[in-house]
Every structure is written in structure tokens, then in C-alpha cells.
Structure 1
């Protein structure tokens, strides 16, 4: 949340008042999902959640902001506004750039995320899933987050950078991702030069990553567009990328691709474990697809119900749960003027669960995505974002997640060890915590009790 500054006009929009000194900072930091939900339900479609922060919740306004064909919003910091939110991260990456700089970087990477990568992803994730699932013994208890995370990280690094990463290299990347996510749990943003234990961990991981990338840059795969499309695009860029630019692009692409897919699969598995009929339908659909003598990507396209399960899981537990932009000029929503320099936020968690836009909004209903005659309102569903800045790898991530869900449920039924221990952890992504499952045969899993 933005801090107050003298250069940004104070808002005159209704919203929660918070505490006398900290305002809404404490409530947001301690439980952002509940805070944003209550703010939206109590104050309407345009809510002041801070002295210079506004939450938009109506699909019409969300689409208008994210698509933004008039250039009224910026992901980069507006001159004169607080640097706190922008001071951490990977500033040279496409995802953290804006304007012409962002377009140049997007154009450089876009051709890599082609149909060919999607086709490759389908086969790679199938092979990696078999490797992981063959190690699951019936009756064993598995930490689903840990296993899926390892699997998806191997898949993402191979898709983006070919086979130039060793197992030890993947471990270094995993440690960096964990350190960044851990830092994101810190409610107070300190200057980067303050050597807190979390910052020290990130610095150490970044040094190790620099060594990995320096070695990868000399790999023959850096010149192979087919086997390592993203690595080739980065290494053949003109002008040549600096080590900082290469590292920032790599780190953000891996974190976005790995974390989104991982969280989506774990949340979907959590929901299927509570809904055995839906899990059985996914399993039967996977059986039918497996019998087809066709490439993995073609079999994946027949997994219509499994795709609906994934979409419903990402409605209820979107890995990207909040998105913000800064106003470059005064804008107006629902009759409220929002001055230049204000941070405008939209939340997938809030809007995806709004009963005005989804019937039985808090229930897991995959069937809602099978009725093409009743699509959701535009702007009401945006797990991968909307507009020109929508996720560059959405099709690849969807392919990975659908096939992995199919492979898990084709082999096993998953029984939650302790449903009450599962909770969302809203950091950079909405991470599932406490999803431990007992591995059962498909035909022997007992029906779980109804979730609260």
C-alpha cells in the first residue's frame, strides 16, 4: 500500500478509516484477503483503502483499467509518488518495465511463447509427472506443495532454457524463489541496503544465480531457438543484455511461470480432494485421453472438464490475487475522481468471489465453465490479467496445469490429511499452505466430510 506524500492529492472517496496512526496498514498487512473483501462489500465498487490507494471491484472498471488503451496508468513509479512499492524486486525485467521499454522487451520475448512451446510443454510435463508420481507409494502422506513445486520448476526451466540447467542449478533457483516469497511476507518495506536475514538470503541466491547464468550463456543451447527459445531470445538481443538485465528477466519469468502453475495445481487438487465426484470425472476423462494415439497436446485439448476444474480453482484461488497501477493523470470511476499519482488496485480474490457476477460464488462448481451460452461478465474473471499486459505464458501454464491434474487423478485419489490446516498465504502469489495428502487407490478413497 502506498504511503502518504505531499505531492499526491488526498482522496475524497469512502472507505475503511482504520487506526488512528497506521490507518489501514495494520489490517491490510495482517489479513489482506479479509480486509479487501470487507472493504469492497461495505463501501462499494470504488473504495479508498489508504490515503492514496483505491480499490476497484466492478468488472467494467477493472477491464477499463487493465486494458487501458489511452495510457492513463503505469506499472512503473509515477514521479513524485512513494518509491516503497517499487524499491524491491527486479527492475530490469519486462514485467516491471513500462512504456516503450516494456514494448521492446515484450516484443523480444513474445515469439518464444509459441504453439511450439505449448506442444513441448504438454510432453515435458507428462514425462516429469510420471517421474514424480512413480515415487508415490499407496498410503503414503505427501506434501503436495513441495512435490508439485519441484516438478513445475523442472518443467519451467527446461521449457525456457532447454536442458542447460542441472539439478543443482534448479535447486539454486528454488532457493531464490523461496527467499523472494519469504521477503514478501514482511509488512514493512526497508531500504534494500539494510542487511536483514531475508535480504542476505536473497543476495546469496542472486550471486549463485549469476554464476549459473554466466555458465548457461556459453552453452550451445543459447544459440538453439527450438530447444531453448527464451534463452536464445535473451542471448541474441540487440543491444546485448547486461548481466543484471539477463538475471532480472530470468528470475521474473521463472517465478511467474513456476509459481502460478504450482499454486493453481495444488489449489485444484485441494478442491478435488473435497469433491470426489469431480475427481472421478477428471480421472475418467484422463483415461479416455490416454487411450488416444495422439500427441500430448492434442490429448490435452480433449480434457474439457479438467480445464473447467482448473478455471474454477483459479476463480476461487487465483495465484495472482492483486494487481496495481499508478495513475498518470486524473481518472474517474463511478462518479469518483481519482487524482494523478494514486495507486489503483484490483483484486482477483475479491471480484472472482463477488456473488453479483458468479452464482454460488463461494462454491466449487466447475460446470459453470462448460456452458458456453452463459460466459462470465467481461472483466469479472482475470487470473492471467487482461489487456496488453496479460500473462505472456498463459497458454503454456494452462497446458502444464491441465495435464498435471489429469496425470495425478488418473493414477490416484488424494485424501486431505487435515483440511482445517489448509490456508492461503497471500504473498506475491496466493500460495496454498498445509496441503498434505494421503495417496489412495482411485477406487478405495473414502468420501471426505463436507468442507466448511
Structure 2
């Protein structure tokens, strides 16, 4: 009997060789034999999740993805088992409501994961999500919008959507107007935006679990704990007010009234997510609108003429939906800089997407940033051109931009967001003359200050603004 023994060195060599052969075999399979091998894309993306992760960590993912689509076409392979689409039909196929003949594309668990704590944003089960959505829906109804509108008016003379969303969600203010400072709760959210994506990186590439802890500073960890503690205290105060007959209804009221089966931890998670969804997206749209208006005097003049034809008191939820140019400005702002620029990943059930059969288990998405800049969809896609949304006396039949997504997982707060944006922009333009103070900067991970000169146009408006903020 032949006795063969391996030295530690030769054993290590065998392991290394086996690993190298496995990697080589994996690369060969992904590039030539994988079901997605026929789709073009960066070669490194075909064999590893690292291309996707690198693109995100640069803070330029939407731009990098746009460049990839410009080079490779409307379907790009962005990971070994993931495709990005750049057509409106693809967006409809992926995100629209399923039917008897069309199975649903479920949320991707690698991306949407909140541990054991479930809420409407992270819930993967469509049945459970439907139950949660039904509970929250009454808080965003037409009658609820009328109830909430005075809160928006209270803070809207300065762009303080974060301040308003605090009272809309919790029934108490962040006091940003009174102090002139952004509340630390919002600051921490902005500062930790880059860290929020790290868990999904680990799920995509488990080896990164060895690296991620070194990407988080001790201060970041302390801030996250501080953020959670403050949210917990705020939720508890809101729960204590729930028994008061004089408590005003807010977005949390339907959740509290439902009560059964919702834990305190779930309420905290929901509160964090609602403030992000309700404040950050609206702020992005308003920042975009103010930037373009401050650099495009022709557009600004048209909006001023339309808005200032009304009295200040007429700038409300009843009149503003009828201002065509105001709504065109908002639509075009969300097209140019969509609040959610990246694609929201879904898992194919084995269905067609824009005429292509996508095997079961493949991750798919359609990024708003890419869709909104596709020259085969839009005329002059890189131009801020509100008139594209106007045609005679009607809104133009332009392609949709899906700023709030579509289908059963679309944003519940569409009406709330539109109300905030219309009132905010209309009142600012009614009261102030504006102009840009500096060039734009990259705001992928964190919004830098948008430096704009605000000049009150007359003393009556200045006095009214001061009175409103008092």
C-alpha cells in the first residue's frame, strides 16, 4: 500500500490550486455558459458582485450605470445573476401589478433586509405587505391630506420638509425653523446614508463581512445608537398621546389604532423609514427645482407669472393642482434628478421583461436615472425643459417617469409628496426672487448646501413671511 503524505506547504498549495481552478471554472461558466451570458455588460460584472459594489461605494452608481447602458444598450448585465433595463416597458413588466397571467416580481431579499424586524418597506411577502399597506392607507387619503395641509403651510416658507415630516409622522416638530439648525435626527440619517447599504453588500459578497466592520467608525456606531434611542423615545411619546381625545391625527394614527400584533421595535423601524421616505425624497425634488429655476431665468419668469397671478392665500391644495407650469416644473425636476435614482431590485419568477424571457431567480431592475436619460425615450434628455410636459391646454403625453415607482409596491405618499412640493415651491416663488449663488456639487451620498439668493420681492410679502414663521 502506497503511503502518501502531504507537507503543510504542499497541502496549502493544493488548496490554493483548487481555489484557483474553481475561480477559473466559475469565470468560464459565467462568461460563456450562464443563462445571462448572452447579455452584454462590464466583463468583471459578469463574474463578480464586486463591480456593482464598487460602483455604489464611489457615490456615482447612477452615472456609472448610465454610462454602461450607453455603451451596451437597453439591457446590461450588472452582476453574475442580475440585469438592469432601460425601457419603460421593462419598468412596467417588473413593477406593475401582477395578474392571473403574470406572476409577481418579488422584492430581492439581498437588498431589502431589516433583520427580524418587518415593516412596509422591507416586507418581502406580498400578502403581509398588503395588510400593512391597508393599515397605513387611510393616513394618506384625500381627507387625511386636508387634515395635514395646515402643518405643511406652517413650515413651508422656508424649505424645511424635514421639519414638517416630523410633525406629520409623530405629531411633534423637529424645531428646525425655530432654531435655524437641522435636527440631529436628520443629520445622522444623512451622515449614515453610505453605511445603510453595507449590509446588502455583505449579502451579495459574504467575504466582505471581514471588511465591513472596518468601514464603520466608532462615531458612526454611536450615532446609529443615538438615532435609534431618540426614535424610540419619540415613538413612546406618541404612544402616550394616543389616549388623548385632543391628539391630532397624523400618519402614525392608523398604525396605533390597529394596534394588535405591532411591536414597539416595528414601530421604531417604521418611523425611521417613514421620515426618510417622506422627507428626503421631497427635499431632493425641491432642491432640484430651485437649482434649475435659479439658473434658468426664462423658466423662473414663467413660473413667477403663473404663481403670482394668485393671492398668497390661494396657494393651497385646491388651487395648485391646476397650475400647469408649476406641475410641469415639478415633473421635470423629478425627471432630471429622480428622488430614487437607482433601480429597485426584484426577483424574476420566470417571466418576460420587455420581450425577453428572464429565468426564475434572476434579479432585475430599471433605474429611474437611466430611464429618464434614455435618448430613445426622451427628446433632449439632458435639458431641463418643463415645456415637454405641456401641450396646448392639456398635459403632454410624455412618457412616464415613475418617480414614486408603480404597482402594488408604489409609494403610498404620492398625494402627500405632491401637496408638499406644490405648496413649498409656489409659496417660495410667490414671496421671493431667487438666483443661484454657486455651481452645483455631487449630492449622491449627502446633500450639500444649495446656495441660492432669496430676495423678498416686496415688503408686504416679507411681512407676511415673518408673520407666518413667528
Residue 257 (structure 2) aligned to one of 214, 233, 236: 236
CA contact (8 A) 1:285 1:305 kept: yes
The answer for the alignment partner of 1:80 in structure 2 is none
Residue 79 (structure 2) aligned to one of 45, 50, 74: 50
Per the alignment, in what secondary structure is the counterpart of residue 433 of structure 1?
coil
| Distance change (3 Å), C-alpha of 1:161 and 1:47 | same
Residue 159 (structure 1) aligned to one of 168, 180, 184: 168
The answer for the alignment partner of 1:40 in structure 2 is 69
Per the alignment, in what secondary structure is the counterpart of residue 118 of structure 1?
helix
Q: How many residues align?
A: 407
1:340 aligns with 2:360: yes
The answer for the alignment partner of 2:225 in structure 1 is 203
Per the alignment, in what secondary structure is the counterpart of residue 307 of structure 2?
helix
1:251 aligns with 2:272: yes
Q: Could you say which structure has the larger radius of gyration?
A: 2
Superposition pairs of residues 47-446 of structure 1, within 5 angstroms? 47-69=76-98, 70-77=102-109, 83=110, 85-87=111-113, 91-98=117-124, 99-130=126-157, 132=158, 148=159, 151-163=160-172, 171=183, 173-184=185-196, 189=202, 194=213, 196-197=216-217, 198-220=220-242, 227-290=248-311, 296-334=316-354, 336-371=356-391, 372=394, 374-377=396-399, 380-419=400-439, 421-425=440-444, 427=445, 432-440=447-455
* Aligned-pair CA distance for 1:90: 8.9
CA distance in 2, matches of 1:260, 1:308: 18
CA distance in 2, matches of 1:306, 1:373: 12
Per the normalisation by structure 2, the TM-score is: 0.77
* Aligned-pair CA distance for 1:214: 1.3
CA contact (8 A) 1:18 1:27 kept: no
| Distance change (3 Å), C-alpha of 1:249 and 1:28 | closer
Deviations 1:83-137 (A, max 9, x none): 4x3445894220111311100100000011011232344433232123x3xxxxx
* Aligned-pair CA distance for 1:393: 0.5
* Aligned-pair CA distance for 1:25: 3.9
RMSD, aligned CA: 3.3
1:14 aligns with 2:33: no
The answer for the alignment partner of 2:6 in structure 1 is none
| Distance change (3 Å), C-alpha of 1:176 and 1:356 | same
Per the alignment, in what secondary structure is the counterpart of residue 55 of structure 1?
strand
Per the normalisation by structure 1, the TM-score is: 0.80
Per the alignment, in what secondary structure is the counterpart of residue 403 of structure 2?
coil
The answer for the alignment partner of 1:145 in structure 2 is none
**Structure 2 runs not aligned, ≥5 long:** 1-25, 203-207, 459-470
CA distance in 2, matches of 1:265, 1:351: 20
CA contact (8 A) 1:74 1:327 kept: yes
Per the alignment, in what secondary structure is the counterpart of residue 273 of structure 2?
helix
Per the alignment, in what secondary structure is the counterpart of residue 354 of structure 1?
coil
CA distance in 2, matches of 1:434, 1:172: 16
**Structure 1 runs not aligned, ≥5 long:** 78-82, 133-147, 444-452
| Distance change (3 Å), C-alpha of 1:254 and 1:191 | farther
| Distance change (3 Å), C-alpha of 1:194 and 1:240 | same
CA contact (8 A) 1:264 1:314 kept: yes
Bigger relative CO (Cα 8 Å, ≥ 6 apart): 1
Per the alignment, in what secondary structure is the counterpart of residue 262 of structure 2?
coil
CA contact (8 A) 1:222 1:235 kept: no
CA distance in 2, matches of 1:322, 1:222: 42
Per the alignment, in what secondary structure is the counterpart of residue 94 of structure 1?
coil
CA distance in 2, matches of 1:414, 1:182: 32
CA distance in 2, matches of 1:18, 1:344: 18
* Aligned-pair CA distance for 1:433: 3.2
* Aligned-pair CA distance for 1:213: 1.1
| Distance change (3 Å), C-alpha of 1:166 and 1:191 | farther
* Aligned-pair CA distance for 1:224: 6.6
CA distance in 2, matches of 1:325, 1:262: 24
Of 277-286 and 61-70, deviating more is: 277-286
The answer for the alignment partner of 1:138 in structure 2 is none
* Aligned-pair CA distance for 1:434: 4.6
